[in-house]
Every structure is written in C-alpha cells, then in structure tokens.
Amino acid sequence: MKKRSLLIAVGVIVFGIIASIALFSKKFGWVSDKFGVSWQLTLPM
C-alpha cells in the first residue's frame, strides 16, 4: 500500500512539473457551468 501511495505522489509531482513548464500561460481563468462543473480556460501566450 505504501508503494502505491508513493508512486501516486511521484506521478502527481512529475505531472505538475511538466504541466507548469509545457502548459503554463499567463492568460488563464476558471468558469463554472450551470451543472456546477468547473472548467479551466487557457489562452495561447
């Protein structure tokens, strides 16, 4: 069980690093639709 938790934590950290490097934009925001689903919008730099 500990190995699985560690792998998930490492995966989240790696994904966060990749996302911050490759997908970061200074133009972004969040909206919610009428069903309560939150969406992140990102515009090209």
Tens-digit pLDDT profile for residues 2-45: 666 655 555 555 555 555 545 566 777 788 888 888 887 777 76
* pLDDT at res. 15: 58
Query: Domain tally for the chain?
Result: 1
> Which domain range does residue 22 map to?
2-42
- 7-40 in b/e form (b: 16+ CB < 10 A) is eeeeeeeeeeeeeeeeeeeeeeeeeeeeeeeeee
pTM beyond 0.95, yes or no: no
